[in-house]
Chains A and B, each alone.
Chain A
């Protein structure tokens, strides 16, 4: 790690929200209890693809204990309009149809109607009294099948859109086409000594957050709406609610509750508008909480994919060309992260000639959503697996290959953009120099793999308010939902700026009426961007304190210095921060400052992972023996949280690689919508993962912060399949490399 002169940054204070979390006092969305509150239940489609002919709610409405029933017709009609959500856009027509279906249901679990009743049991019983007449249509579940001309078309309004305009006149499942090109791809492959072309498949995978979606709404008689919910972006919920309900944002207040995981899956709204409609109809607050099956079947997982990659290298192991065809299953509505996959797929390397085609394709699965470095894991699995084969063909050390081809500052990606200061090469060097890589791996059916990954990281907008208290503490109001320890990382940045202890900052994540605008907690942006806002607030507080002290001492402002949590003036005058805070209220106005950010961009983040596995050739089970993560984290504000992010991302990537998948039957019904059957890794499945924090500070942040949350999920699948190949000689080109699938390949060998 880089050595710095920081006093707070780089230390490991106890998290500010720790006590509430470990004592169970932290308030999550499902904990909300309001006077007169009703409980809601959702009726969901039993079919993967069907036309809704009619919905009869009369029996449910008259059921004792029922106070309101709503369907899609209770939502205002939407035109084809795109709403800008800061990070990403959303088609409001599709979003509204996803919240409550009108003409068609596009996946099993698609919400059709909702009931509010005195208790959850009555509500659930009443949903069964809603009579929906369906015309069942054939589903299409596979991305390549959905692209065929004869495939059932999900959305009549979808045409293939690209930067060149509409590429299709008739309705189609192919919603988007992306295309990137750099240099002369044919020339690049002609110069290659080795060319490898392979096809890869990944399954639909869920983020697996433990806390289900929830929303409690109160539509007050004065027209004001309050929503208590688990979300990654309270301001995004407010905006989506306003757009969907066609109300001004000022009528809506969103209170973000503690969040039990999101990973990209808690940005879109599902229950919030429905709870609001039920509250409006019933005149009472209404709480909706999903069960696990609904979370799997009706919220946005990361899409399944088909990727074809072709890469070439010369005799010395220098890449000459790279080409990819990437097709993602968007789910029922367009909007998969295929574009991110296209822009990530060769980003780790300096590729002189490249071409990438990407397709966003509708299938009868839930509308996909972001999942930690969306699209990058799929992309890394394919590209890094081809790199591993090139290394084998060239008999070249995979570390040496990566060092020879690593993207650096100034490298131009295939999509055209040049990198700023990045640390790809440094992560490979860190693995090369690690005790893990230097150690020997012995034993039968054991293998070692390595892979790298990239994620952009974003900046976007944040606002905070800081208030000085007379006891020398500072309250920090922020609007960025704390998913990964950002209350601590932001408090530490404010403490560092003010020269006080992290424990003297009192952070709180507040509602949308109580702090300025904040973009979503996503894109690994909060410690970076909200951190800049916090730093700006700290600088402003320092400025005001200097002014106040100059007034107290009756000296010029220029004669007062703020340093290390103290103010010093002429003649040896000095106040500590705490002493000064005690004088503030007696000498003038309270000190309340704000800080904002929004014009800064992050440089991307890279990680390189190394893994040892042992494969049981009789069962196909893979045991992860040892795992090391090297990641460029910029300046690590709270190293323990940085390590936690690296380990958590890798754990999810391991689950994706070895076990996790949606299993569908031929009717499009998910057959494993429980955590018993959808197998995420537990602590029993994973070794303690070693972390190497590589610090290449991002010059665009005052402390050099670089987002850390997303990139660690990208390399694991490619690293694991490389290790499996070393262990048993089988190249897995379809994820997950689960025991039955791997055993099948071993037996076929």
Chain B
């Protein structure tokens, strides 16, 4: 098994319409790099330098990642990129 990266709908134009991309990677950074290797341009929409783009969050499985690009990804993990939310 390998991690499943859910492509944000507005970025599916970069992945030829692929909704889910299966790639290898031990953490979020490696997963993004793996998607970038197949679909160039993806990383630029997700990352700003060596960090996630401002206003963006990543969830691994059902959990919001607190380590950003360093968050560990298991072989059976789902990875989602979502806008950061705030409460009241």
Interface of A with B (CB < 8 Å)? 82, 84, 87-89, 162-165, 177-181, 207, 262-265, 337, 339-340, 343, 370-374, 415-420, 455-459, 522-525, 598-599, 601, 603, 710
In Å, the complex CA distance between A278 and B59 comes to 44
Question: Please, which residues of chain B bring their CB within 8 A of the CB of A598?
Answer: 66
Which of A89, A181, A419 touches B62 (beta carbons < 8 Å)? A419
Tell me whether A710 and B78 are in contact in the complex, defined as CB-CB below 8 angstroms, given that A163-B45, A179-B10, A417-B62 are known contacts: no
B49 contacts A by Cβ under 8 Å: no
Tell me whether A89 and B54 are in contact in the complex, defined as CB-CB below 8 angstroms, given that A179-B9, A339-B83, A417-B82 are known contacts: yes
Q: Is the CB of B9 within 8 A of A370?
A: no
Question: Please, which residues of chain A bring their CB within 8 A of the CB of B85?
Answer: 88, 337, 339-340, 343, 456, 458
Please give me the residue from chain A that is nearest to B82 by CB atom: A415
Which of B45, B62, B67, B80 touches A420 (beta carbons < 8 Å)? B62
Which of B13, B84, B87 touches A89 (beta carbons < 8 Å)? B84
Please give me the residue from chain B that is nearest to A232 by CB atom: B88
Please give me the residue from chain A that is nearest to B48 by CB atom: A82
Distance in Å from the Cβ of B87 to the closest Cβ of chain A?
Answer: 3
B16 contacts A by Cβ under 8 Å: no
Q: Is the CB of B87 within 8 A of A416?
A: no
In Å, the complex CA distance between A522 and B88 comes to 5
Q: Is the CB of A416 within 8 A of B6?
A: yes
In Å, the complex CA distance between A524 and B85 comes to 13
Question: Please, which residues of chain B bring their CB within 8 A of the CB of A88?
Answer: 84-86
Tell me whether A599 and B66 are in contact in the complex, defined as CB-CB below 8 angstroms, given that A82-B54, A181-B9 are known contacts: yes
Q: Is the CB of B64 within 8 A of A601?
A: yes
B34 contacts A by Cβ under 8 Å: no
- Residue-by-residue, is B1-45 near A (CB-CB < 8 Å gives 1, otherwise 0)? 000001011110100000000000000000000000000000001
In Å, the complex CA distance between A165 and B44 comes to 10
Q: Is the CB of A373 within 8 A of B63?
A: no
Distance in Å from the Cβ of A47 to the closest Cβ of chain B?
Answer: 29
In Å, the complex CA distance between A573 and B81 comes to 56
Q: Is the CB of A370 within 8 A of B64?
A: no
Tell me whether A374 and B87 are in contact in the complex, defined as CB-CB below 8 angstroms, given that A89-B55, A459-B64 are known contacts: yes
Q: Is the CB of B54 within 8 A of A84?
A: yes
Seed contacts A370-B88, A599-B67, A601-B64; 16 additional CB < 8 Å A-B pairs: A82-B54, A89-B84, A177-B10, A179-B8, A207-B88, A337-B86, A340-B86, A416-B6, A417-B59, A418-B61, A458-B87, A522-B87, A599-B66, A601-B63, A603-B62, A710-B87
A-B contact pairs, 23 of them (CB 8 A): A82-B55, A84-B54, A88-B85, A88-B86, A89-B55, A164-B13, A178-B83, A179-B8, A179-B9, A265-B88, A370-B87, A370-B88, A373-B88, A374-B86, A374-B87, A416-B82, A417-B59, A418-B61, A456-B85, A458-B87, A523-B88, A525-B87, A601-B64
Tell me whether A164 and B10 are in contact in the complex, defined as CB-CB below 8 angstroms, given that A84-B54, A89-B54, A419-B62 are known contacts: yes
Which of B9, B10, B88 touches A710 (beta carbons < 8 Å)? B88
Tell me whether A164 and B11 are in contact in the complex, defined as CB-CB below 8 angstroms, given that A84-B54, A418-B78 are known contacts: yes
Question: Please, which residues of chain A bring their CB within 8 A of the CB of B66?
Answer: 459, 598-599, 601
Question: Please, which residues of chain B bring their CB within 8 A of the CB of A599?
Answer: 66-67
Question: Please, which residues of chain A bring their CB within 8 A of the CB of B10?
Answer: 162-164, 177, 179
Please give me the residue from chain B that is nearest to A418 by CB atom: B62
Distance in Å from the Cβ of A423 to the closest Cβ of chain B?
Answer: 15
In Å, the complex CA distance between A458 and B87 comes to 8
A contacts with B: majority SS: loop
In Å, the complex CA distance between A419 and B63 comes to 9
Please give me the residue from chain A that is nearest to B63 by CB atom: A601
- Residue-by-residue, is B60-80 near A (CB-CB < 8 Å gives 1, otherwise 0)? 011110110000000000101
Question: Please, which residues of chain B bring their CB within 8 A of the CB of A370?
Answer: 86-88
Interface range on chain B (Cβ under 8 Å from partner): 20 to 34
Distance in Å from the Cβ of A459 to the closest Cβ of chain B?
Answer: 7
Question: Please, which residues of chain B bring their CB within 8 A of the CB of A163?
Answer: 8, 10-11, 45, 56, 81
In Å, the complex CA distance between A458 and B84 comes to 11
Distance in Å from the Cβ of A414 to the closest Cβ of chain B?
Answer: 10
Distance in Å from the Cβ of B46 to the closest Cβ of chain A?
Answer: 8
In Å, the complex CA distance between A339 and B56 comes to 11
Which of A162, A179, A374, A419 touches B88 (beta carbons < 8 Å)? A374
Question: Please, which residues of chain B bring their CB within 8 A of the CB of A179?
Answer: 8-10
Q: Is the CB of B88 within 8 A of A372?
A: yes
Question: Please, which residues of chain B bring their CB within 8 A of the CB of A181?
Answer: 9
Distance in Å from the Cβ of A507 to the closest Cβ of chain B?
Answer: 22
Q: Is the CB of A165 within 8 A of B45?
A: yes
Distance in Å from the Cβ of B74 to the closest Cβ of chain A?
Answer: 14
Distance in Å from the Cβ of B19 to the closest Cβ of chain A?
Answer: 8
Which of A87, A265, A416, A601 touches B86 (beta carbons < 8 Å)? A87
In Å, the complex CA distance between A384 and B56 comes to 28
Question: Please, which residues of chain A bring their CB within 8 A of the CB of B64?
Answer: 458-459, 601
Q: Is the CB of B62 within 8 A of A523?
A: no
Distance in Å from the Cβ of A335 to the closest Cβ of chain B?
Answer: 9
Please give me the residue from chain A that is nearest to B51 by CB atom: A84
Question: Please, which residues of chain B bring their CB within 8 A of the CB of A165?
Answer: 45
Which of B9, B11, B56, B80 touches A417 (beta carbons < 8 Å)? B80
Question: Please, which residues of chain A bring their CB within 8 A of the CB of B45?
Answer: 163-165
Distance in Å from the Cβ of A82 to the closest Cβ of chain B?
Answer: 4
In Å, the complex CA distance between A337 and B84 comes to 10
In Å, the complex CA distance between A343 and B8 comes to 13
Q: Is the CB of B8 within 8 A of A371?
A: no
Please give me the residue from chain B that is nearest to A85 by CB atom: B86
- Residue of B9, B54, B86 with highest tally of chain A CB at under 10 A: B86
Question: Please, which residues of chain B bring their CB within 8 A of the CB of A265?
Answer: 88
In Å, the complex CA distance between A415 and B11 comes to 14
Distance in Å from the Cβ of A160 to the closest Cβ of chain B?
Answer: 12
In Å, the complex CA distance between A88 and B86 comes to 5
Please give me the residue from chain A that is nearest to B67 by CB atom: A599
Please give me the residue from chain A that is nearest to B83 by CB atom: A339
Q: Is the CB of B87 within 8 A of A456?
A: yes
In Å, the complex CA distance between A339 and B84 comes to 9
Distance in Å from the Cβ of B4 to the closest Cβ of chain A?
Answer: 11
Distance in Å from the Cβ of A292 to the closest Cβ of chain B?
Answer: 20
Distance in Å from the Cβ of A437 to the closest Cβ of chain B?
Answer: 29
Please give me the residue from chain B that is nearest to A415 by CB atom: B82
Which of B6, B62, B81, B82 touches A343 (beta carbons < 8 Å)? B82
In Å, the complex CA distance between A82 and B55 comes to 9
In Å, the complex CA distance between A525 and B64 comes to 14
Distance in Å from the Cβ of B58 to the closest Cβ of chain A?
Answer: 11
In Å, the complex CA distance between A464 and B81 comes to 31
In Å, the complex CA distance between A362 and B13 comes to 28
Q: Is the CB of A264 within 8 A of B54?
A: no
In Å, the complex CA distance between A598 and B85 comes to 16
In Å, the complex CA distance between A603 and B62 comes to 9
In Å, the complex CA distance between A116 and B86 comes to 34
Question: Please, which residues of chain B bring their CB within 8 A of the CB of A82?
Answer: 54-55
Closest 10 CB pairs of A and B: A264-B88, A523-B87, A88-B86, A370-B88, A82-B54, A164-B10, A181-B9, A420-B62, A372-B88, A339-B83
Q: Is the CB of B88 within 8 A of A416?
A: no
Question: Please, which residues of chain A bring their CB within 8 A of the CB of B56?
Answer: 163
In Å, the complex CA distance between A264 and B85 comes to 13
Question: Please, which residues of chain B bring their CB within 8 A of the CB of A207?
Answer: 88
In Å, the complex CA distance between A179 and B81 comes to 12
Please give me the residue from chain B that is nearest to A83 by CB atom: B54
In Å, the complex CA distance between A177 and B82 comes to 13
Please give me the residue from chain B that is nearest to A457 by CB atom: B87
